[in-house]
Structure 1
Amino acid sequence: MKFELRHLRAFVVLAEELHFGRAAERLRIAQPALSQQIQRLEADLGVILLVRDRRGTALSPAGQAFLPEAIRTLEQAAIAETTAWRAHKGECGRLRVGCYAPSSAGPFLETLAGFQLRSPEVELMLQGLRPGSQTAPLLEDRIDIALMTVLGEVRPPGEVTARPLWRDPLVAALPKGHRLAASSQIAPEDLAQESFAVMPRGRCGEWFEEIIALCRRAGFSPRITHQLSEISDQLGLVAAGLRVALVPRPSRSPLPGEVVYVPLAGTRLEVSRCAAWRSDDSSPVVARIREALEVTFPVAFS
């Protein structure tokens, strides 16, 4: 494209007015400057767009054919400019979010829902995370932000920034007919004779070891019969009355009425929820969701 958009705009206004004086006034330029712009546009195109004679100014056949395309070009240029500015402000684009254990991620998911409502042109893509590899999808650029679920100390790699959001206590998940289901709280040693479903050691070693250590501090080694990566799978066994599990307190139970969650006495072991992103990520969309999380969780825990 040889011509400038300002020359195109000058032609469209002149085609609408068919009068150099009125067109120059609308464009807020001098009439000689308007004449120069039209002459430059005609030279760039190699055609005559306007014909001037004693009767006034008229569009040539080339000008008549060129006018609707010129209007469309200006409209598309305006759309392109708006789109670029909105992308710069993070109002459009793509946000890939990773989340582990959605059943206990209610406040985070509610923040995402509010963000999507305010930014409908941001394509929101949500995918599940596996325990033990929650930062790998970030480092591999498969997601942009993650809700990390960590039992114990949060230790992200140096390339990842993690902002704590909230903590959930570890609770005992029991079948509804369990002998301890009606208790207001139980001690870990009350579960000494139970069969446990836990995280696999090979998939999430730190989580596995924390559970083992908790039980040993209570004076017993847990009888582990099932190692399942997904908390929902562990709760499925609990609901069937086959096992017990130690899980973060859910914001809403995926199996209401089938599983009872009882607080643990004598332990302060908690599950940390953290938003994590690549430290070098300059995406405006990521910056906006981080701002939204700051509003929802204004004070991160220490």
Structure 2
Amino acid sequence: MAKQNTNEKEMSFLDHLEDLRWHLIRITVSILICATVAFIFSGFIFENIIFAPKRMTFPTYQWLCDVSTMVGVDDSTFCAAEFPFRIQNRTVAGQFSADIWTSIYAGFILAFPYIIYQFWRFISPGLHASERRHSRGFIFASSFLFFLGVLFGYYIVTPLTINFLGNYIVSAEVSNEFDLSSYISTVRSSSIAAGFIFELPIVVYFLTKIGLVTPKIMRKYRKFALVLVLILAAIITPPDIASQVIVAIPILILYQVSIYISKVVVRNQNKKQNINV
């Protein structure tokens, strides 16, 4: 058994709550600091990040246009000059609110490694010394997967969604004029949701550690997981097969990676039990 500090052993429930409170305070302060920086550079964020998927010069559209041209498909939706919709603000404080909330969410994304670090600091006293030594790897892996998911959501899910909904019409009598908050919500939810989805291997790691998940269970329910992945892809993407397949593939890869991680965790636990015996 790893040797722990006396104060860590003697912490009461109220002490844990006090410790959690300070971790939450540090997390909040870090988000606010990053949000302030994002607010200062909000002009750059809106012009070059938020509204970039609205322009046909966005890299994803250029790539899809090249692919469709290469295979001989005349796809005007990806090779058009511009989207047939406008973004407008309908409320008095709409643009100010959009600026504030965009800065806060940007602050959360920027502060994510520190948030994970604080989370690890809170749970690490209850772990063995050997498990604590992997803290840096945990923080790096969690942050890497989250940022990778955000990029996937921004460069894949977001443009596919905007392209589909921006070109979708029920009649020529109706013009698409999207509200500012609705457009930003689409970009934000697609990116951040993908970031959390990419945390699946980390979640499986902890669930395996506490015995709720095993590689055998994950293999047994792989078919059900496939169905859930397709449903999830259908929820976060436009209702077309190509978009759903593009989103489903990396999630299925993450699921397979999670099975391997669960297998490694179980194998290490079995080795420790054999050593103790």
Task: Give the TM-score, by structure 2 length.
Answer: 0.24
More strand by share: 1
Larger radius of gyration: 1
